Chain A
Amino acid sequence: MDNEQKIQVMTDIMAKFTSYMGKRLPDDIMNKLRELRQQEDTYLAKVVYDSMFENQELADKLDRPCCQDTGVIQYHIKAGAEFPLLANIQDILRNAVLEATRIAPLRHNAVEIFKEKNTGNNTGERVPIIDWDIVPDSKSIEIEVYMAGGGCSLPGQGKTLMPSVGYEGIVEYVFDVMTSMGLNACPPLLVGIGIAGSIEVAARLSKKALFRPIGSRHNDPRGAEMELLIEKGLNEVGLGPQGLSGKNSVTAVHIESAARHPSTISVAINVGCWAHRRGTIRINEDMSYEIISHKGVTL
């Protein structure tokens, strides 16, 4: 296959995968939702969970986006330094979004700043959003596709704290956001927390935290403990499905961190709704691929 053919093939794979992951939730999220559903015993919580599972069945059967808000499309990439199409990725993903918008179909969600016009095709200034990490000595590329819906983007925020408030300040901030804005963001939520020395680093990490699979933990024991503590504490608050109260509030809490300046602690929070549309795909040099988030799926 020459490079021109590879560009065609990869565009096709990414269009199909972007369309696919808007219709079916990843395996880890579905398993967690099944577990949480069983714990609920009130009428309203059961009504909501019944609707959620019926909806996922219908979306699968009718082959339609399971939530109407298919978001602004984001691609978070771990690119092997020796992957052959690095220079073409931006064009490939832009074209993949145009095609996915047509075949899925996706809702039109790119509104140009200042012009205040919806472009009608999900591309626009810097959109689709692409975020890069380079992996040395690798010939493949791993791409996280994420549909950032409006409802669960709305609570996203950050704050730079003075070190005097300590990690306690982080905990208070997270709980305040969750019991105000989090309520309306379609709980149970996946909570991503970024901790760093400045706000943009914390913000980016809080989004990255949403791509970790359920069950994974921060690699520092204190970080892992803090994840578990916040998870347990938020569940005790009992937001329940749709914030209508219940036994749980979250599917998980993930923290990502970067070393901080001695004078600052920046914290940012990003949440994913129950219908956490995250897809992970690895594409190799020869354009063979593996879908990591949805086992056993071919496009």
Chain B
Amino acid sequence: MKKVLTTPIKNEDIENVTAGDVVYLDGYLITCRDVAHRRLIELGRELPVDLNGLAIFHAGPIVAKDENGKWQMISIGPTTSMRMEKFEKEFIAETGVKLIIGKGGMGPNTEEGCKTYKALHAVFPGGCAVLAATEVEEIERVEWDDLGMPEALWVSRVKNFGPLIISIDTKGNNLFEKNKVTFNEKKKAAVQTICERVKFIK
């Protein structure tokens, strides 16, 4: 059965969601990436959106105004989540955000944040930005637009937003870190085999 999370997300909604599960999102999704994280955590500025129980998207969209001057979502896909690793634990603590959507894995800092404050990190398939845009119902408003189109906070309502592949769950399980162990084992064997065959300097 399709698992759908609806904002505001409560701890009990996500406690039984496990790394590797696929879920979808209904409700509020706010884009939030490099500079917004830095402003809150490093510069101590208050975020212009209350994220308690909501979802953020590590993303910088393409938006355009329609003939009535209303913002339309043209293309929006995830950006590399690892860039926010440095800030994410404190970010979860400060904001009460429950779902962080991005691309690729995140590290021990975020794992700890997800475990301590009950939150999830999920991956939306990277590059699938038109698919994601068609799952956005409406852009309600934009904040911190002084940062430019990619870095501003776009506050959107989404419906059936996904697939979202859970990469870190509330127990701190980390899908990418688990995969990395396997990748590194296979890497060792592959490199050894190739090195035997590229001894070109003689």
Contact = CB atoms under 8 A, between A and B. Distances in A.
B128 A51 contact: yes
A108 B149 contact: yes
B76 interface: yes
B176 to A, nearest CB: 7
Contact of A167 (B176, B182, B201): B201
A133 interface: no
Contacts of A179: 180, 183-184, 187
A107 B62 contact: yes
A47 interface: yes
Interface in B118-136: 123, 125-131, 133-134
A283 interface: no
B148 A108 contact: yes
Given A226-B198, A234-B190, A243 B105 contact: yes
Most buried by B among A48, A68, A151, A167: A68
Q: Nearest 6 CB-CB pairs, A to B?
A: A184-B104, A118-B148, A233-B190, A55-B128, A275-B127, A167-B198
Interface stretch (A59-67, A73-81, A84-92, A287-295): A59-67
A230 interface: yes
- Interface residues of chain B: helix, strand, loop or mixed (majority): mixed
Given A120-B148, A175-B190, A242-B103, A52 B80 contact: no
A55 B126 contact: no
Contact of A51 (B20, B125, B180, B198): B125
Contacts of B186: 236-238
Contact of A222 (B20, B149, B165, B200): B200
Interface in B124-165: 125-131, 133-134, 147-151, 163, 165
Nearest to B200: A167
A77 to B, nearest CB: 27
A198 to B, nearest CB: 18
Interface of B: 20, 22, 59-62, 64, 74-77, 79-83, 103-105, 123, 125-131, 133-134, 147-151, 163, 165, 175-176, 179-180, 182-184, 186-187, 189-191, 193-195, 197-201
Pick from B127, B150, B200 the residue with the most CB of A within 10 Å.
B127
Contacts of A64: 62, 74-75, 130, 133
A168 B198 contact: yes
17 contacts: A58-B130, A68-B129, A69-B79, A69-B129, A120-B149, A154-B83, A166-B200, A166-B201, A172-B191, A172-B195, A183-B183, A185-B104, A226-B194, A238-B186, A242-B123, A242-B165, A243-B105
B180 A65 contact: no
A227 to B, nearest CB: 11
B187 A175 contact: yes
A230 B190 CA distance: 8
Contacts of B151: 118
Interface string A94-137: 00000000000111110100000110100000000000000000
Contact of A105 (B20, B74, B103, B194): B74
B191 A171 contact: yes
A72 interface: no
Given A55-B131, A59-B130, A150-B80, A65 B62 contact: yes
A111 B191 CA distance: 38
Interface of A: 44, 47-48, 51-52, 54-55, 58-59, 62, 64-70, 105-109, 111, 117-118, 120, 150-151, 154, 163, 166-168, 170-172, 175, 179, 183-186, 222, 225-226, 229-230, 232-234, 236-239, 241-245, 273-275
- The interface centre, meaning the residue of B128, B163, B198 with most chain A CB atoms within 10 A of its CB, is B128
Nearest to B125: A51
Nearest to B202: A166
A58 B134 contact: yes
B103 A184 contact: yes
Contact of B104 (A108, A183, A229, A236): A183
B137 to A, nearest CB: 16
Nearest to B199: A166
Nearest to B22: A47
A166 B198 contact: yes
B104 to A, nearest CB: 3
A295 B193 CA distance: 39
Contact of A233 (B103, B147, B150, B194): B194
A237 B187 contact: yes
Nearest to B151: A118
Nearest to B186: A237
B130 to A, nearest CB: 4
